[in-house]
Chain A
Amino acid sequence: MSAKKSKSLVRPYGDTTGDGMVQVSFTLPVPHDKRAEGAAALLAAKMGIEPAMVVHAKPMGPDFTFFVVYGSVSHLVDLRDVQVVERDYPLLSPKEVNSAIKKGLRRPLVVVGACIGTDAHTVGIDAILNIKGFAGEKGLEYYSELTVVNLGAQVAVPELVEKARLHRADAVLVSQVVTQRDAHLHNTREMSAAFREAFPAERRPLLVVGGPRFDELATGELGVDRIFGKGTTPGEVASYLVSALVPVPTTRKKAS
């Protein structure tokens, strides 16, 4: 592809540009027979996969059949229509984070983190907060200018608010992994509402949630300042906290 205009329109790529090839697998609640395979091909066609090749069909017990389907999808995506949250803050090294806080805040920045509700999965919050860190980056506890209070799992919202007040949190980090019955969304809304009630707007800590199944665009709907999705690293969170909370020092050695 050479022309700029055509680059914004994309189709899936199998082994030839524009072939549109995709592969899907699914189960239908029907016994395995010819009709079941036909149903799989029909479903694929309705998904825009046409012609569809039902390359594998396997009975799973008497009542279900598992399918693998390959085919060319008729849909196109215009990259200009894509909406994502682009990183709108500079990525800083731990050293730069520490020095920015030192100069801009002149005190450690306090972060209180927790898994709220019944969520017992501390994987996410620990990946961001524990020194051990994630993806080769050390967690926020490693940053000398960050004071980290990790409340761990299954923290009740009132307790989180209380601890945030006690520790004078600048930011509250909440991780939500369990998504059954949209628990992560309910919990987050409950949390943000509680903070709005407990703090005057200008004193409210920055509210940040993270988890693998959040929509990063849903900040307004959930009442939080930032949402981080899957694969977020501690460095990204630290950099964001600096950009959101640390005033740029007014006296600088060099004008930028």
Chain B
Amino acid sequence: MSRTTNPTPDPRRMLDLDPVTVRRARALARRAGKPVVNLAQRHTTVSVERAVLRLAGLEGADVEGIPWVNRLVDVVREQVGLEHGVALPVWDAMMREGDDLTTLAQRAAAGSVDFQIPEGKASTYAGRIARKDVSAGIRRIDASRRQRDRLIEKFGDPPAPWIYLIVATGDIYEDIPQAQAAAREGADVIAVIRSTGQSLLDYVPEGPTREGYAGTYATQANFRLMRAALDQTSRELGRYVRLTNYASGLCMPEIAALAGLERLDMMLNDSMYGILFRDINPVRTFVDQRFSRQVHARAGIIINTGEDNYLTTADAVEAAHTVTVSQLLNEYFAKEAGLEDWQLGLGHAFEINPEIPDSFRLELAHALLARALFPNAPLKWMPPTKHMTGDVFRGYLLDGFFNLAGALTGQGILLVGMMTEAVVTPWLSDRDLALQNVRYVFNAAGGLREDFRPAPDGFIAERARQVLGEAVDLLEDIVDDTLLEAIADGTFGLMKRPADAGRGLDGVFRKADGYLNPAGDLLEERATR
């Protein structure tokens, strides 16, 4: 695929934004986000605690397929609560009983372990051993990151934009040849869509899976199988093919940990998506989010945020500023958790109604605004879905314009649009046609960005400034009102989600004095031991 390798023009020169307004927008995002970070720091969740056990090496499931991490956390929770974290009572019991972690989990599930919150010397000792065991998992994540760097060095890194294709058969053994074929056809990034409904499972399924609805379960074994297959294909193609999955839903922290261990390269990870689109409790989400982002930061994983989703429910013109606000919040939460600019695949989408006049100029304005606001982030550019009507011919044209907007505004991650969106899950031919579309546009106009300078006082620049202005106004309201209230009021994607409702609330615990989470500590301290 011919893609421009010319140096990227500084996006800020394509669109002249008032630096004072930009600084103000970031400052407001920080003020809106800070109370949520404080809230997240004061709480833990069942999934954060299970992630700690996974990092310490607890794998496998009982005969019913319920993972041992769930069994163990449930017993601890029942006996002594999770306010002190799972580490202290579990490692205290291990020391007393002389068990390894798996044996302890099995015995605990059978009801033959008494947990207690250790005090004094016993507590210090349990904490120290817990940290030692968990740090082994953190070091495995570090090793995976180094391995990725080595393989990128060896196989080569594809030029931007990275072509992002989806596979979703439900069966990991079908997904693998499809993913390898997609990579051979030109995909730089393979996303394995998860089974519908996995986000609401409060456990991570185990083992290789062959039964999923509209997608394949995210499991550690599936991650490992797919990464190994893509390593093989990367070697064959001479470029590193990245693998994407979803750190979202009720098990986000655990899935982030598994992704780090198994060297996934990108993860869908939005600060508010679960709240808005899965009705997961806001507090649960923000706590899980923060931990998962800390893991991603450590693992060198690029996150993809989900702003494109707002535009599938709200109007893409009226709600353009909510995308900007969400991007700014996602940036703040990401940076706070230790992620760097190159890891921020902030999302946005080509979803303006094509019937309205100047829709393409509006798309360019919005895309350029995101580009100029986040000049060092890769940005994930999502194709039209809402106005794909089933008229596949018109859809193909829209996808062409989407690709052109992506080329003109220097998007880093290009999700390939399918003309059969809203009709069928993509056929082989749909994918082939879609890639031809991308190739044609980038061959023909990949370098056009160099010549493209919207008039400083023209329609595009004015529109971008207007959206940024509206974003600042909305951020001011959010700061006055608090972010949790704004979410409850339906500010984003028109969904109303109060902080005291939603799924997973019963898995949230306020931390007690003496709470211990060795994984959290190692991540915060950026320590290896």
Contact = CB atoms under 8 A, between A and B. Distances in A.
Sorting the interface of chain B by its residue count into under 10, 10 to 19, 20 to 34 or 35 or more gives 20 to 34
A54 interface: no
Contacts of B197: 118, 120, 154
Given A27-B427, A27-B429, A123 B213 contact: no
Interface stretch (B5-13, B58-66, B307-315): B307-315
Contacts of B147: none
A153 B312 contact: no
Q: Of residues A66, A123, A152, A180, which shows the largest number of chain B Cβ atoms within 10 Å of its Cβ?
A: A180
Nearest to B427: A27
Interface in B398-446: 422, 425, 427-429, 432-433
Given A27-B428, A130-B494, A178-B196, A153 B279 contact: yes
Interface in A108-152: 118-120, 122-123, 126, 130, 132, 152
Nearest to A58: B432
Interface string A58-71: 10110010100000
A181 interface: yes
B278 A60 contact: no
A119 B494 contact: no
Interface string B214-225: 100000000000
A25 B184 CA distance: 23
Interface in B147-190: 170, 181, 184-185
A178 B427 contact: no
Contacts of B312: 123
B213 A181 contact: yes
Contacts of B213: 118, 178, 180-181, 183
Contacts of B313: 122-123, 126, 130, 132
Nearest to B390: A230
B264 to A, nearest CB: 22
Nearest to B197: A118
Contacts of B185: 61
B277 A60 contact: no
B277 A120 contact: yes
Contacts of B214: 178, 180
A156 to B, nearest CB: 10
A8 B121 CA distance: 92
Nearest to A126: B313
B109 interface: no
A31 interface: no
B494 A152 contact: no
A197 B279 CA distance: 28
B522 interface: no
A12 interface: no
Nearest to B200: A154
Contact of B278 (A64, A120, A126): A120
A66 B494 contact: no
A119 B390 CA distance: 20
A231 to B, nearest CB: 9
B212 to A, nearest CB: 9
B490 to A, nearest CB: 10
A223 interface: no
A54 B182 CA distance: 26
A180 B215 CA distance: 10
A132 B195 CA distance: 29
A104 interface: no
B429 A61 contact: no
Nearest to A61: B181
Given A132-B315, A180-B213, A119 B196 contact: yes
B200 A64 contact: no
Nearest to A120: B196
A26 B432 CA distance: 12
Contacts of A130: 313, 494
B429 A132 contact: no
Nearest to A67: B429
Contacts of B427: 27
Nearest to A155: B279
6 contacts: A60-B428, A123-B313, A126-B494, A152-B279, A178-B213, A180-B170
**3 cross-chain pairs, A with B, having the tightest CB-CB distances, nearest first:** A118-B197, A118-B196, A60-B432
Given A66-B433, A152-B279, A178-B196, 20 more contacts: A26-B429, A27-B427, A60-B428, A61-B181, A66-B428, A118-B196, A119-B196, A120-B196, A120-B197, A122-B277, A122-B313, A123-B312, A123-B313, A126-B313, A132-B315, A132-B494, A153-B279, A154-B197, A154-B278, A180-B213
